[in-house]
Amino acid sequence: MKKKDKIIFTGGSGKFGKVFRGIHHNKEILYPKSNQLNIKNYKSIKKYLSKYKPKYFIHAAALSRPMNIHDRNIANSIETNIIGTCNVVKACSERNVKLIYFSSNYVYPAKKGYYDEKSAVLPFNNYAWSKLGGEAAVQMYKNALILRICMTEKPFLYKKAYTNLKTNFMFHEDLAKVFFKLINKKGVINIGGDSQSVYKFAKKYNKDTKKEKLNNNSLPLNSTMNIIKFRKLT
């Protein structure tokens, strides 16, 4: 990408968005508020793109946590994560704007683990279904990149961590720093760190982390991904 290329970033007030803004403050990136660009309103997106004429559209805005919100308010989950993404795809496709979509490792079945980008998907919960619903629209647009991401806040927020839940946690900062090595790629890329238990990940950064075992089905026990493609690119 060139220095003068404009970028639109939705979700700039979110946890990753704030980290991203801090690291890439010197680039020409627009972080519209919802009253400037409302992803639930196609005309709003179209108007914003017409005004600023970006080359890239990073779509990180989404309804995510708490996870049960996608069970309690299915309509809002659909409106935001599925229809909102469809609106973004429609608007970007009309102007050939490169779209980068933030999806989740939760779209994988979460049973055997080590899923690569060609593995079959079977979302674990309604949140993951909403992200896969967005992916379906993005897949129809060839000038797009889907990032299936597994990341968390730094420092790790919890005093206890699960020993029997395997994942690919990486910190927001780690993705933000290498993000522009990926921006011109297309297709699907798994994004994350080493495959390990949440406890092992947390213990690296806080030796006082206590062990805990997940005894219900509230979270996927093994959503680990093959991240070879990501490692080669970064």
Predicted local confidence at residue 216, as pLDDT: 87
Q: What is the pLDDT of residues 120-165, one digit of tens each?
A: 999 999 999 999 999 999 999 999 999 999 999 999 989 999 999 9
Predicted local confidence at residue 4, as pLDDT: 81
Sign of the CA dihedral 132, 17, 166, 233? Answer: positive
Low-confidence stretches of the chain (pLDDT < 70) are: 1, 3
- Find all residues with CB under 8 Å of 170, minimum gap 6, and list them: 150, 151, 152, 191, 192, 193
Map tokens 């090595």 to a residue: 181
- pTM for the whole thing? 0.96
The CA distance from 139 to 133, in Å, is 10
Sign of the CA dihedral 108, 175, 44, 47? Answer: negative
- Find all residues with CB under 8 Å of 200, minimum gap 6, and list them: none
Superfamily of structural domain 7-158+168-197+224-233 = NAD(P)-binding Rossmann-like Domain (3.40.50.720)
